[in-house]
Chain A
Amino acid sequence: MKCRTCRGPAIIDLPRHNANFCAEHFLELCRRQVRKAIDDFEMFAPDDRILVAVSGGKDSLAVWDILVELGYRADGLYIGLGIGDYSHESEDFARRFADERGLTLKVVSLRDDHGFDVPTAAKATGRVPCSACGMSKRHLFDHWAREGGYDVVVTGHNLDDEAAVLFGNSLRWDVEYLARQLPVLAARDGFPKKVKPLVRLSEREMAAWCVVRGIDYIVDECPMAVGNKHLGYKEALNLIEEKSPGTKASYYLGFLERMSPLLAGVHERGTAGLSACTKCGAPTGAVGESVCAFCRLAERASTMAPVPVEMVVKKSAARRRAEKEVGR
């Protein structure tokens, strides 16, 4: 296999581009796709202060790496979610990445700073852990972006993430969620601007970026996310992608180009009626509530005894099979 650009030995085949690339030209392709996303969607300006939501996984470390390489001023924020060893290891990867590059990483702990963690929140609400986890992360990223005076919050959502969310929203025809599924959410009513510079790059490309750049990241799946619907949608889309390379990109990018504009009115209607949380001051749209969803969750979960991760972990059939094979 030869690199499409220089005809040197290729290290990766990208069926959706019907091409192979050497390390140098693969990295160049990724940078170009990120620059295109930033420019096309007007994500941020060269002087903007950027806060990257860092999880210790491949996507957040890759996007931070790429933005710094491209010359942007980007700091990181890591949130300790209290998901046992998984959280400890993720934090180590995030800290090591920042330390090795002399980057600024702020670390916040749900347990130490807010009196609860994700397993306990899942038990307290009786809902899937990803629900409390996502809500807590959004709240804290918004909060620290406001506190730190950042212009924009960057998340590492990639093409596969966005295609899977789009797939789920389409299966339910959830028009309000579809209308909000944009790579840029403008700042409004106390919420910071949020952007996703990796939407033109696949999960496989981001993992490859990290391998080529020598970035160590947490390869393990979050034990609480195993078997969730989102991962099932990704698997389904990958089956289609294998048969028909480029499907994920045309599905999601085509949605942005041709469907999103038709839903713009729905999006605007969905942003009406926000007020400030009487506890933390964050904007909240909860109907009939003066306290935001995060503060209500913290109030409820922080009075409970900590719940160990194992109590709320689900195992996928594939993982159970694999663990049986190795006698675990």
Chain B
Amino acid sequence: MRVILRNPRREIELTGRRRVHALLAELGLAREGHLVIRNGTLVPGDGELDADDVIEIRPVVSGG
């Protein structure tokens, strides 16, 4: 799957499926500080992400 990260904007490729909370843990990102978005829709913690998904992990702290 293609994962888009922000601040700064960058992309990483991961192979295989995994759940949202596993993806965040793998990347060392706090659940409380991030949203996972697929095709403009939020995916909850136990949501399954497919290998060909494009995912945005959006930090919730933004602005100033």
Chain A residues proximal to chain B, CB less than 8 Å: 1, 10-13, 15, 20, 23, 55-59, 83, 90, 130, 133, 160, 202-204, 206-208, 211-212, 214, 217-222, 224-225, 231, 234-235, 238-239, 241-242, 319, 322-323, 325-326, 328
The smallest C-beta distance from B32 to any residue of chain A, in angstroms, reads 4
| A219-B6, A221-B7 known; A1-B45 Cβ under 8 A | yes
A211 touches B42 (CB 8 A): yes
For the complex, give the distance between the alpha carbons of A59 and B64 in Å: 11
Chain B residues lying within 8 Å of A15, measured Cβ to Cβ, are 31-32
Q: In the bound complex, do residue B64 and residue A222 qualify as a contact, i.e. CB atoms below 8 Å apart?
A: yes
Q: Does B23 reach chain A (CB closer than 8 Å)?
A: no
Does B40 reach chain A (CB closer than 8 Å)? yes
- CA–CA, A138 and B8, complex, Å: 29
For window 1-38 of chain B, which residues contact chain A by CB distance below 8 Å?
Answer: 5-8, 10, 30-35, 37
Residues of chain A lying within 8 A (CB to CB) of residue B63 = 55-59, 90, 218, 221-222, 225
- Give the residues from 31 to 64 in chain B that come closer than 8 angstroms, CB to CB, to chain A: 31-35, 37, 40-47, 58-64
Complexed CA–CA distance, A130 and B45 (Å): 34
Q: Decide: A239 near B30, CB < 8 A? Known: A211-B37, A219-B7.
A: yes
Q: Which of B5, B8, B33, B61 meets A328, CB within 8 Å?
A: B8
A13 touches B45 (CB 8 A): yes
Answer whether A221 and B64 are a contact pair too, CB < 8 Å, given A235-B33, A242-B32, A328-B8: yes
- Which of B8, B30, B47, B62 is the one whose CB lies under 8 Å from A238? B30
Query: B residues within 8 A CB of A133?
Result: 64
- Would you call B42 and A11 a contact (CB within 8 A)? yes
| Whole-angstrom CA separation of A218 from B40 in the bound complex | 16
Known pairs A1-B44, A217-B62, A219-B59; list 5 more (Cβ under 8 Å).
Answer: A204-B33, A204-B35, A211-B35, A211-B42, A220-B6
Return B59 CB to nearest CB of chain A, in Å: 7
B32 and A319 form a contact (CB under 8 A): no
Instruction: Report the minimal beta-carbon distance from A204 to chain B, rounded to whole angstroms.
Output: 5
> Hey, which chain A residues are within 8 Å of B45, CB to CB?
1, 13
Find the A residue at minimum CB distance from B31. A242
If A235-B33, A238-B32, A239-B30 touch, does A13 touch B62 (CB 8 Å cutoff)?
no
Residues on the A chain within 8 Å of B5, using CB: 322
Chief secondary structure at chain A's binding surface: helix
15 A-B pairs within 8 Å (CB atoms) are namely A10-B44, A12-B44, A56-B63, A57-B63, A58-B60, A207-B62, A211-B41, A211-B42, A219-B58, A219-B59, A220-B62, A238-B33, A242-B31, A319-B8, A326-B8
List B contacts of A12 (CB < 8 A). Answer: 42, 44
Measured CA separation A319–B61 after assembly (Å): 13
CB nearest to A2 among chain B residues: B44
Cβ–Cβ contact B10 & A325, under 8 A: yes
| A90 CA to B64 CA, complexed, in Å | 11
**Bound-complex Cα distance A225 to B31 (A):** 22
Q: Shortest distance in angstroms between B50's beta carbon and chain A's nearest beta carbon?
A: 16
Which residues of chain A come closer than 8 Å to B62, judged between CB atoms? 57-58, 207, 217-221
B42 CB to closest chain A CB (Å) equals 4
- Across the interface, A234 reaches (CB within 8 A) one of B34, B40, B61, namely B61
Shortest Cβ gap from B37 to chain A (Å): 6
Contact status A11-B41, CB under 8 Å: yes
Query: In the complex, A13→B46 CA distance in Å?
Result: 9
What separation, in Å, do the CA atoms of A57 and B45 have in the docked complex? 24
